[in-house]
Amino acid sequence: MLRPTVAGRIFVDENGAPWRCVGVLPGGIANILHRDTIAVIVGSKVFERGEECFASGRVLHVDAGRGELRGAVRPQEIGRAVYSVRIWVREEGLAYECTCPMGEQQQFCKHAVAIDGRASVFAVVGTDDDGLVVAGSRSALVLARSRAGTLTADRPIEIEQLAFATDPAGRALVAYNDVEGALHGFVARGAAPARPIELGAARAGGACLTAKRGWIAGPETDQIVAFDPETGAVTPYTYAKHDLLGCTADAALLHERNATHYVVCAGDCRVAALQGMRPSKIATLAGAQVVAAVVRDQVLGVWREQGPPAYYDLGKQLDLQLAVSDGKALDLVAESGDGLVIVRVPAK
């Protein structure tokens, strides 16, 4: 199944401040500082107020490091002292504290939501006993490692840009440009440190994993880099006006912008041209063959490398977002007037 590339940028961190009242919520390593988890914890009303607090510029500074966030938030009320806020992980689960009146009652407040607006968790692999959390800020990458239920963080890495990906085998690919612009990448499965490999001067944009190699593509560039995390071998590719769409276990799939040409890279790379269709990034690999889809006037067209195109009457207009395949069926994730839908058609 093709795993789409994921590009990410992280946000600003600075120094934190003291705190006091504490609350603890149950949860495992995957809950660490994750905004979806926080939204469930606090409810929609508090979460929205926290987002408004962040958007209004009341977050004075945030420090993201060692599996926690610390920050300071300016109160709305004139004359009140600045609130000190902290979110972190204990053995019992996700913990939080704030010096505001709501925090003093051990309730998760809008200020805790607001400071989380400046940091993100990008990938979590492994378990509480042997796991890795990829997190950080706009200028720093933080790798937090979980061993026997105890979470510790490496020294933050100063970065300019980040790309990351995970795969069903439980691995995480992390690629980043350092402050001098050099590209580095590694593949990790759990808490054990992985050796970063120097990948040249390409920019980190999209990323995905095949069984044997990590793939990184620069944003709006012609440079694509593949590397073997076991041997350290690096292979640069130059495909003018191509984007990295994603990977299966066997191959990476590229698409030529505004064209109907695709490139499939396994051991070697080959070009696949799908004739008679409009240019589309909604494509995947069904086995070793490229399959692409287009919707026009409520009709879905599916083009394959082998055989004629197939057409399906949808009965409504859809905006295709993503294509995946197990080799037999083609699943298309799309937006409609009623929300997200999945259309399943034969892949062959």
pLDDT digits (tens, 9 = 90+) for 299-310: 999 999 988 999
How sure is the predictor about 182, in pLDDT bands with cuts at 50, 70 and 90?
very high
Which of 61, 83, 118 finishes a domain?
Answer: 118
Within-domain flag for 151? yes
Select from 106, 141, 105, 111 the least CA-distant residue to 123.
141
Query: 283 and 163, same structural domain?
Result: yes
Query: 283 and 135, same structural domain?
Result: yes
Instruction: Tell me how far apart the alpha carbons of residues 138 and 92 are, in angstroms, rounded to a whole number.
Output: 29
At residue 87, does pLDDT exceed 70? yes
Domain range holding 63?
23-118
- Mean pLDDT confidence for 237-263: 91
Q: Which residue has the tokens 């988890």?
A: 37
pLDDT, greater one: 3 or 320: 320
Instruction: Tell me how far apart the alpha carbons of residues 277 and 301 are, in angstroms, rounded to a whole number.
Output: 8
How sure is the predictor about 14, in pLDDT bands with cuts at 50, 70 and 90?
very low
Query: 164 and 259, same structural domain?
Result: yes
pLDDT at 32: 42
pLDDT at 67: 60
The 10s digit of each residue's pLDDT in 210-235 is 999 999 988 766 889 999 999 999 99
Which of 89, 118, 147 finishes a domain?
Answer: 118
pLDDT, greater one: 41 or 348: 348
At residue 282, does pLDDT exceed 90? yes
> Nearest 5°: phi and psi at 116?
-70, -10
**Among the listed ranges 54-58, 65-69, 314-318, which one has the minimum average pLDDT value?**
65-69
Query: 218 and 183, same structural domain?
Result: yes
Query: 154 and 272, same structural domain?
Result: yes
How sure is the predictor about 13, in pLDDT bands with cuts at 50, 70 and 90?
very low
How sure is the predictor about 35, in pLDDT bands with cuts at 50, 70 and 90?
low
Query: 294 and 179, same structural domain?
Result: no
pLDDT at 275: 87
At residue 6, does pLDDT exceed 60? no
Query: 285 and 145, same structural domain?
Result: yes
Of 32-41, 69-78, 81-90, 336-345, give the range with the top mean pLDDT.
Answer: 336-345
Within-domain flag for 103? yes
Report the chain's mean pLDDT, rounded to a whole number.
80
- Mean pLDDT confidence for 187-192: 91
Whole-angstrom CA distances from 40 to 113, 135, 270, 297 are 11, 20, 46, 39
DSSP 8-state code for residue 118: G
At residue 22, does pLDDT exceed 60? no
Within-domain flag for 177? yes
How sure is the predictor about 3, in pLDDT bands with cuts at 50, 70 and 90?
low
Within-domain flag for 16? no
Helix (H, G, I), strand (E, B) or coil at 97: strand
Q: For the chain, how many structural domains are there in total?
A: 3
Helix (H, G, I), strand (E, B) or coil at 342: strand
At residue 346, does pLDDT exceed 60? yes
Query: 194 and 93, same structural domain?
Result: no
Within-domain flag for 15? no
Query: 102 and 164, same structural domain?
Result: no
Query: 323 and 267, same structural domain?
Result: no
Within-domain flag for 18? no
Within-domain flag for 90? yes
Which of 95, 118, 141 finishes a domain?
Answer: 118
Query: 278 and 141, same structural domain?
Result: yes
Sign, CA torsion 97/99/105/109: negative
pLDDT, greater one: 137 or 69: 69
Within-domain flag for 247? yes
Whole-angstrom CA distances from 299 to 62, 191, 296, 312, 325 are 49, 48, 5, 6, 20
**Among the listed ranges 111-115, 187-191, 230-234, which one has the minimum average pLDDT value?**
111-115
Query: 347 and 249, same structural domain?
Result: no
